Amino acid sequence: MLKGIAASPGIVIGRAFLLEKEEFYISKRTIDPADIKQEIIRFRKAVAETREEMDGIRQKALKQLGKRHVRLFDAYLLILQDPIIRNDVTKMVTEQKVNAEYALQTVFDKITKTFNIIDDGYLRDRGRDILDVVKRVLKRLLGREREELATLPSPVIVIAHNLTPADTIAMRKENVIGFATDIGGRTSHTAIMAQSLEIPAVVGLKNITKKVKLGDTIIIDGIEGIVIIDPDSETVENYERQKLKYSNVEEALKKLTDLPAVTADEHNVELHANIEVPEEIPSVHAHGATGIGLFRTEYIYLNRADLPSEEEQYQQYASVARKMMPYPVIIRTMDLGADKFVGEFGISPERNPFMGLRAIRLCFRYPYVFKTQLRAILRASVEGNLKIMYPMICCAKELRHANELLEEVKNELRKEEISFDENIEVGVMIETPSSALIADILAREADFLSIGTNDLIQYTLAVDRVNENVAHLYKPLHLSILRLIKRIIDAGHQVGKHVGMCGEMAADPSFTKILLGMGLNEFSMSPLSIPKIKKIVRSTSLTTARELANQVLATSKEEEVNKIIEKFEALP
């Protein structure tokens, strides 16, 4: 039995499919003659990036270990310059019109055969060096999608060292019934994506890939964050019972779907849904959400070689807007970067990506991409009740600049006589300490605020949200976080603005009363979580919740917070 971090709820029992960290499934694709040049550029870029990466490691080794120890890296760099690798691959792509991965793999297989014929230990080792280099280039070429995830033959539980959000979205629910990874955190986008796909998952297990073999029976308990390898029949029966119990509880909660989210003393609260893909809309309705508080729009950019067109984005937004009518839909402009890396922009992987060129920063670097998205949103705004929200705003100037670009797009549309909602609301995500501390200024210039606690907590407490080693330090109830949240809500209310929360904190029933008591207007979360939060809202009175919030905010002892929460738990 291994204990990890519960990432996505549910219990599943199935067979393990070990996704080897370095194994690649290379498929052969025919390249259109017009795209051959582009394919070669893609290959050269992957080689150049690998060289940069190796050079970086070499510099580090040189500094830390001295000259004698960098010969291996020199050899690697020479392999990358080798004409066999460079020219033969380009030649094969050009002449046979095949994809670069396939050409590289074929050329490499030829080299390996030659090395294997010669019975010489030294040369065999060099063969392994070439394999390592080739794998690094392949990894970059394939970076965005591990093809095998989309094509698994039968229902399996995927065991992997790491799964990126792009890997996760490539999973087909029929084939992947659950997953478990060595690394990762509760609020990573991989965990969030698993909830969207309703795939039970446990992350941060540290070494599960070393303990599981292909075909092992595995139990994933995504509620408790437990994985059991090769369980005995008694354990399987026990988990079958728990699975049933869990689905009964879920069914019972679903009875609340059509009931309003009002407190026991008749105060309305908005319970909205977070979605990652439009396919989630039926689940949004089935769980009784009365709006979408966060549409993460990044996924349309992942697992593809080009950028999504304005039309493609428009179709998505218009369809979501129509299906959600008359409820509001907050479209968060794209938040690429950090753990949702895209090679398309030609940016090398960053050393500290969560603090790098992410979200609105990336949009400002590529205004064309940003404006294309804004145009798509504005065009779709006549189809329903759409709102725009900017992520990762750190200062008022960024909000103003984003609005300037929005204004430019509006003017273009006006000139083209394309209609859009002239009164479309524009909100700001508060997910950095800087924006939290100037929430009063931002609130004056925005139509609404939404607290992104996933990032707010990681940046305030300096705890990487995807790093299992520091997961125990990721504390939503840290006094600093509680104070910041209160400050943001008050700042919004002082100028009559609506304040929501779309981070995972809004989905955790243990925080519902405190947040209610602080005056939060809207809770937005994975559709699956809505019924259980509604149950708490309906059984709590705002007066009690306010008292709880006051007591928690007044304490100076971290350890007191949970005691106060417990004291109020049974109170209506």
Q: What angle do CA 176, 179, 185 make, to 5 degrees?
A: 140
C-alpha pair distances (Å), 482 with each of 65, 435, 476, 561: 46, 15, 8, 10
502 binds, among ligand PEP, Mg ion, none (CB under 5 to 8 A by kind): ligand PEP
C-alpha pair distances (Å), 509 with each of 529, 532, 536: 9, 7, 7
Residue (50 or 526) nearer to ligand PEP, CB: 526
484 binds, among ligand PEP, Mg ion, none (CB under 5 to 8 A by kind): none
β-pairing, 156-160 with 176-181? parallel
| 189 classed as catalytic | yes
Question: What is the nearest approach in angstroms of Mg ion to the Cβ of residue 414?
Answer: 32
Question: What is the nearest approach in angstroms of Mg ion to the Cβ of residue 442?
Answer: 15
Question: What is the nearest approach in angstroms of ligand PEP to the Cβ of residue 429?
Answer: 7
**Which x/- pattern, by CB under 5 A, does the window 411-450 give for Mg ion?**
--------------------x-------------------
* Rounded Cα–Cα distance for residues 28 and 556 (Å): 62
Q: Is the dihedral of CA 60, 64, 66, 70 positive or negative?
A: negative
Residue (288 or 492) nearer to Mg ion, CB: 492
Q: Which stretch binds Mg ion (CB under 5 A): 136-144, 152-160, 206-214, 452-460?
A: 452-460
C-alpha pair distances (Å), 34 with each of 29, 37, 477: 14, 7, 56
**Whether the Cβ atoms of residue 359 and residue 336 lie closer than 8 Å to each other:** yes
384 contributes a contact to Mg ion by CB under 5 A: no
Q: Which stretch binds Mg ion (CB under 5 A): 144-152, 397-405, 451-459, 524-532?
A: 451-459
Question: What is the nearest approach in angstroms of Mg ion to the Cβ of residue 276?
Answer: 13
521 binds, among ligand PEP, Mg ion, none (CB under 5 to 8 A by kind): none
**Is residue 322 helix, strand or coil?**
helix
Among 69, 161, 189, 395, which one carries the catalytic annotation?
A: 189
Residue (218 or 461) nearer to ligand PEP, CB: 461
503 binds, among ligand PEP, Mg ion, none (CB under 5 to 8 A by kind): ligand PEP
| Residues at the interface with ligand PEP (CB under 6 A) | 294, 296, 335, 431, 452-455, 502-503
Residue (288 or 293) nearer to ligand PEP, CB: 293
**Whether the Cβ atoms of residue 218 and residue 159 lie closer than 8 Å to each other:** yes
Residue (209 or 454) nearer to Mg ion, CB: 454
* Rounded Cα–Cα distance for residues 5 and 3 (Å): 7
The only residue of 452, 500, 517, 527 in contact with Mg ion, by rule CB under 5 A:
452
Question: What is the nearest approach in angstroms of Mg ion to the Cβ of residue 500?
Answer: 13
Which residues are within 8 A (CB) of 409 and not within 5 positions of it... i.e. 6 or more apart? 371, 374, 375, 378
* Rounded Cα–Cα distance for residues 273 and 444 (Å): 26
| 394 classed as catalytic | no
**Whether the Cβ atoms of residue 43 and residue 90 lie closer than 8 Å to each other:** yes
Look at the chain and count its residues.
Answer: 572
Residue (382 or 395) nearer to ligand PEP, CB: 395
* Rounded Cα–Cα distance for residues 23 and 161 (Å): 12
Instruction: Give the up-direction half-sphere exposure of residue 106: CA atoms within 13 A in the CB hemisphere.
Output: 15
Residue (39 or 335) nearer to ligand PEP, CB: 335
Question: What is the nearest approach in angstroms of ligand PEP to the Cβ of residue 354?
Answer: 9
**Whether the Cβ atoms of residue 291 and residue 272 lie closer than 8 Å to each other:** yes
Question: What is the nearest approach in angstroms of Mg ion to the Cβ of residue 189?
Answer: 9
Among 272, 287, 363, 502, which one carries the catalytic annotation?
A: 502
455 contributes a contact to Mg ion by CB under 5 A: yes
Query: Active-site positions?
Result: 189, 502
Binding interface with Mg ion (CB under 5 A): 431, 452, 455
